């Protein structure tokens, strides 16, 4: 398999994640809150889950996002295919666990949900294309996402150790920021590896 010639670095992924995430912070946070609210309505939540995936792809193209857009009926139209996608995805992850390769497979397939929703790929095609696009970049993508996650964990542990109200409040704020930053970082990677849009700052 030939390596995707696009260059990616941990610093670029994290910095663009912060830039894109902060630019869309309010809308991403509101969309996330609305998604949580729909958890109690399974059918509706399946549609909003697909919509949340699409939001990341739209960020990659620099599009404006609307929190209430997650309720669009077009997302619920793909629920059947989405279950098929999840079946292949979960089965692959379970198999990878046996060989202690879950982080590798999860990173290889990290773009698959967006290709499935945004590019209208079929379930297997989206997994195969994601693996091809991330080839040669898996470690960079994995470490960049770990950096974002670890940054939050460090703040949280400091808050838990001190018990200071102001630090605990900071931990909460950082936790809220992690959602849009992670979405922004993912959209940047999707943008760079698919060549779709101009999400980079």
Examine the pLDDT at 200 and tell me if it is beyond 50: no
pLDDT band at 98 (very low <50, low <70, confident <90, very high): confident
Round to whole Å and give the CA distance between 94 and 164. Answer: 41
3-state secondary structure of 2: coil
Report the pLDDT averaged over residues 15-19.
94
Its pTM stands at 0.86
């Amino acid at each position: 398999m030939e390596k995707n010639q696009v260059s990616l670095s941990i610093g670029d992924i994290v910095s663009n994640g912060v830039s894109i995430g902060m630019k869309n912070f309010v809308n991403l946070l509101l969309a996330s809150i609305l998604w949580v609210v729909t958890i109690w309505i399974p059918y509706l939540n399946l549609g909003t889950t697909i919509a949340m995936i699409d939001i990341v792809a739209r960020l990659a193209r620099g599009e404006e996002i609307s929190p209430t857009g997650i309720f669009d009926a077009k997302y619920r139209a793909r629920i059947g295919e989405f279950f098929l996608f999840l079946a292949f995805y979960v089965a692959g992850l379970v198999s990878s666990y046996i060989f202690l390769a879950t982080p590798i497979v999860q990173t290889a397939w990290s773009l698959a949900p967006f290709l499935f929703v945004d590019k209208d790929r079929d379930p297997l095609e989206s997994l195969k294309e994601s693996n091809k696009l991330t080839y040669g970049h898996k470690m960079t993508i994995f470490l960049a996402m770990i950096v974002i996650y670890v940054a939050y964990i460090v703040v949280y542990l400091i808050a838990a150790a001190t018990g200071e109200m102001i630090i605990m409040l900071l931990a909460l704020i950082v936790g809220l920021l992690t959602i849009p930053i992670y979405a922004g970082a993912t959209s940047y990677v999707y943008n760079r590896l698919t060549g779709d849009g101009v999400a980079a700052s």
